[in-house]
Structure 1
Amino acid sequence: MPFSPVDMLALSVFIVAWYGYTVFARRKAKTTDCIARSLHQHRIHWMYEVISREVRVSEAALLANLERNIAFFASSTLLILAGLFTLFAKVETLEVVISSLPFAAEVNHLAIQLKLSLLAFIFVLSFFQFTWSMRQYGFLNVMIGATPFDLSGSNENLTAYAKQMAIVQDQAAHSYNYGLRSYYFALAAMCWFFHPFLLIFMSLWVVYTLFTREFNSKAVKAITTAQSLLHQERQLRDEKTPGV
């Protein structure tokens, strides 16, 4: 077998950590203040404002900036995949380099190929996530372009339409986040080349880092507070607007 029992344990921890955190974060975001939950509310406020703006140059600039960021990661992922496929032709050299490290576990030709395949699979997944995110932002551009102008804010159809635009933007952001998360776990998977225990440690460390940043960071607290302020401001504005 190319892998030892410790390798299989490390791979199992890696898969459970990634899949488990994805499910946990998705469920917890429905009931707990976090980046995903708070930004969703911000997107709703943003789309409400889009309806009341006759000139939407700022939206075009903001969305173009978001798409450029995603395009950067998508193109970078292709370069990484090209590098990984090149390494398949250099497995012997890679085996010698890893074996020369004093702390590295024993490796063999097939194990290195399988580990490279795992990395390639992760980056293929991330590429699909990034490109799907770009497409969804394109859909959002079309929806914004089709949005009628309504200064009163009393049109229920347009209010519901704004929420649907926020949902599309939310899904695009989720795909982008999943792509970035793939990068985090790919860095953990790279550690498997050196030692399975290092893969276990890095998998758990990535989960801890993601949880801290998405649920318990200063950015989360600031965004949540800002969302509450926006909600209060919108309520005051609605009370002052005639016919609402």
Structure 2
Amino acid sequence: MIPFSTLDIIAIVWYAAFWALFSFVVDHSPLSHRNLSHLMNGHRRRWVKNMANRDLRMIDTAIITGLQNGTAFFASTSLLAIGAGFALLNSTDLALQVTRDLSLPVETTRALWETKALSLICIYVYAFFKFGWAYRLFNYTSILIGALPYHKSTSPEDMEIAIEQVAEINSLAGRHFNLGLRAFFFSLALFGWFIHPMLLIAATTFVGMVLVRRQFFSRSQKLATRLLP
């Protein structure tokens, strides 16, 4: 038997469509050049250009180490969240008993509860892969920083190619980190589904609007725009 009601299906479609639409607008639409993540990629390139003119690059390696540590933290958190998801899946009977005892109008079945728990696990697995790959790309960035020639010892053309390589790998690492973080944010909305499908729709809309504001209308976005040369 299909465990979903019509309202469940509508809520799931809304959730998936909102996430997909947000990803398209931020990553692929003409508006993507105005969002905070894209603007920060411009600052990454500016950072690498400044680094190419420094003889000592301990500051730059320290920045990369900080980015790696933050990515490793979220990757570890993803593993913990996956474990918590399996614990939630293993506690289906207890969860059903709790929902029956609540005064809130929570209506669920074993199949529906397990589907919700598995959905959360899948999201956190996706986030782990994104954070894991971002960590690997930051490692590659640190290697390219070590291989970046000094501006006095190479031609301008070769230096520009080397700068572009470092900036692109660094930006790609940031992109995968952002995708993992986006999965974390939207996983919070999915918790609303455990209570009621309408709460999933409301939570998805709220999380999506918060992320839209941060990417396009926040003070951080305005500062990043103003600081670009």
Instruction: Give me the TM-score of the superposition, normalised by structure 1.
Output: 0.89
Kindly state the Cα deviation for residue 28 of structure 1 after the two structures are TM-superposed: 3.8
Q: Does 1:140 align with 2:141?
A: yes
Q: Which residue does the alignment assign to 2:216?
A: 215
Q: Which residue does the alignment assign to 2:43?
A: 42
Q: Which residue does the alignment assign to 1:9?
A: 10
Q: Which residue does the alignment assign to 2:73?
A: 72
List alignment gaps of at least 5 residues for structure 1. Answer: 232-244
Contact 2:133-2:173 within 8 A present in 1 as well? yes
SS of the aligned residue for 1:3 comes to: coil
1:49-107 per-position Cα deviation (integer Å, ceiling 9, x unaligned): 12111111001101101110111111111111111112222101111222333333310
SS of the aligned residue for 1:105 comes to: coil
Q: Distance in 2 between matches of 1:131 and 1:100?
A: 40
Instruction: Give me the TM-score of the superposition, normalised by structure 2.
Output: 0.95
Supply the AA of the counterpart residue of 2:7: V
Residues 29, 206 of structure 1: alpha-carbon distance in 2 compared, 3 angstrom cutoff: farther
Q: Distance in 1 between matches of 2:131 and 2:224?
A: 24
Q: Which residue does the alignment assign to 2:201?
A: 200
Supply the AA of the counterpart residue of 2:145: I
List alignment gaps of at least 5 residues for structure 2. Answer: none
Question: Which 10-residue stretch deviates more, 199-208 or 98-107?
Answer: 98-107
Q: Does 1:110 align with 2:89?
A: no
Supply the AA of the counterpart residue of 1:147: L
Q: Which residue does the alignment assign to 1:54?
A: 55
Kindly state the Cα deviation for residue 206 of structure 1 after the two structures are TM-superposed: 1.1
SS of the aligned residue for 2:166 comes to: helix
Contact 2:25-2:31 within 8 A present in 1 as well? no
Kindly state the Cα deviation for residue 223 of structure 1 after the two structures are TM-superposed: 1.1
Query: What is the alpha-carbon root mean square deviation over aligned residues?
Result: 1.6
Contact 1:53-1:151 within 8 A present in 2 as well? no
Alignment of 1:108-187 (within 5 A): 108-151=109-152, 155-187=156-188
Q: Distance in 1 between matches of 2:154 and 2:29?
A: 32
% same residue: 29
Q: Distance in 1 between matches of 2:122 and 2:54?
A: 44
Q: Which residue does the alignment assign to 1:240?
A: none
Question: Which 10-residue stretch deviates more, 217-226 or 155-164?
Answer: 155-164
Supply the AA of the counterpart residue of 2:109: N
Contact 2:128-2:180 within 8 A present in 1 as well? yes
